[in-house]
């Protein structure tokens, strides 16, 4: 993935994929706008995809906040999807990765609470004894009804380096030995963010991934998933606060928003929404190099 490929790919398809677990905020709105600008400037397709697989935290109020906030900004999209309606596709992809030997069942009790919490401290990579379990023994445990998470078998001890070129940050690399065996499916059979996001990006033919800086480190895991799916990963761009244009001031988040349930701003935008803001309009209409 090179910076040249990010700029030169024909007819882009980009996506904004919020999780409806909270109100739409200024950072999410900015992510949509960057994708929207890129799509509209290049006569591409803007996809709105709700990443709503976290059933315990999703709320209808959050869903409405996303739609109301984007419409209040005068933004539009061309296609709309919900990940919760695509679960069969996600599970099929996880099974395919498992059948290739690139994933394994982890029967460790309370795997999510222990694994993810320890991973944040940089200590946990995998649960001992789980990677080495034979396929026959794994099948026997599964047939007995024992709950398990499906984890990606990250290559270890091979001196492998995962790398990609971010259109903002440049070349990024990390040793595969430092990446934990992340979950693809939870013990309840629900796909994780990492799996669902990559499967949907591939299936929906997303050509460019434009997202916030906080997702930069996730890309190393996603490279492995795309590899497991035998799919070429799209070029990526991680924008930061330094990329904010002057019009961002119109979206400042107030300390205690009262009227705007989506927590975007108390300031009034022009009647035409973001279309009337000078910088985005110029970016959409200016000639391509």
What is the block-wise mean pLDDT of the chain (289 residues), using blocks of 10 residues? 55 92 85 92 95 85 91 93 96 98 92 49 80 96 96 96 91 95 95 96 94 89 97 81 42 37 42 46 46
∠ CA 152-154-158, rounded to 5°: 160
Picking from 82, 84, 27, 14, the residue whose alpha carbon sits closest to that of residue 49 is 82
DSSP state letter for 191: B
Which pLDDT score is estimated for 121? 53
* 0.85 exceeded by pTM: no
Which pLDDT score is estimated for 200? 97
Q: How far from 80 is each of 45, 48, 62, CA to CA, in Å? A: 11, 5, 16
Name the token pair of 170.
């440049």
- Could you tell me how far CA 234 lies from the centroid of its own chain? 12
Which pLDDT score is estimated for 6? 56
CA 277 to CA 287: how far, in whole Å? 18
Picking from 97, 44, 83, 120, the residue whose alpha carbon sits closest to that of residue 196 is 83
Which pLDDT score is estimated for 254? 35
Which pLDDT score is estimated for 232? 92
Name the token pair of 251.
């979206």
CA 199 to CA 253: how far, in whole Å? 33
CA 250 to CA 33: how far, in whole Å? 13
Can you tell me which residue has the tokens 């996603």?
222
Q: How long a stretch of residues is the chain?
A: 289
Integer distance in angstroms from the first to the last C-alpha of the chain? 21
CA 236 to CA 164: how far, in whole Å? 9
Can you tell me which residue has the tokens 């069942």?
105
């Amino acid at each position: 993935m090179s910076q040249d490929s990010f700029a030169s790919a024909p007819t882009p398809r980009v996506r904004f994929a919020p999780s409806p677990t909270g109100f739409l905020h200024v950072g999410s709105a900015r992510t949509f706008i960057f994708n929207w600008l890129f799509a509209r400037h290049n006569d591409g397709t803007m996809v709105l995809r709700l990443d709503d697989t976290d059933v315990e935290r999703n709320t209808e109020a959050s869903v409405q906040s996303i739609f109301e906030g984007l419409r209040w900004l005068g933004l539009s999209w061309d296609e709309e999807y919900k990940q919760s309606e695509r679960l069969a596709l996600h599970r099929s992809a996880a099974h395919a990765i498992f059948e290739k030997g690139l994933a394994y069942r982890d029967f460790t009790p309370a795997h999510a609470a222990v694994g993810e919490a320890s991973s944040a401290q940089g200590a946990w990579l995998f649960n001992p004894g789980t990677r080495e379990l034979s396929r026959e023994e794994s099948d026997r445990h599964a047939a007995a009804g024992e709950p398990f998470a499906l984890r990606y078998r990250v290559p270890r001890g091979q001196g492998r380096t995962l790398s990609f070129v971010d259109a903002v940050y440049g070349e990024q690399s990390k040793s595969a030995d430092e990446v934990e065996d992340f979950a693809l499916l939870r013990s309840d059979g629900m796909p994780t963010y990492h799996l669902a996001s990559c499967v949907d990006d591939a299936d929906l033919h997303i050509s460019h991934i434009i997202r916030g800086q906080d997702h930069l480190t996730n890309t190393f895991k996603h490279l492995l998933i795309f590899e497991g799916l035998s799919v070429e990963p799209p070029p990526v761009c991680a924008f930061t606060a330094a990329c904010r244009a002057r019009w961002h001031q119109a979206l400042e988040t107030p300390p205690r928003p009262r009227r705007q349930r989506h927590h975007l701003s108390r300031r009034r935008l022009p009647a035409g929404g973001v279309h009337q803001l000078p910088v985005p309009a110029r970016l959409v209409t200016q000639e391509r190099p």
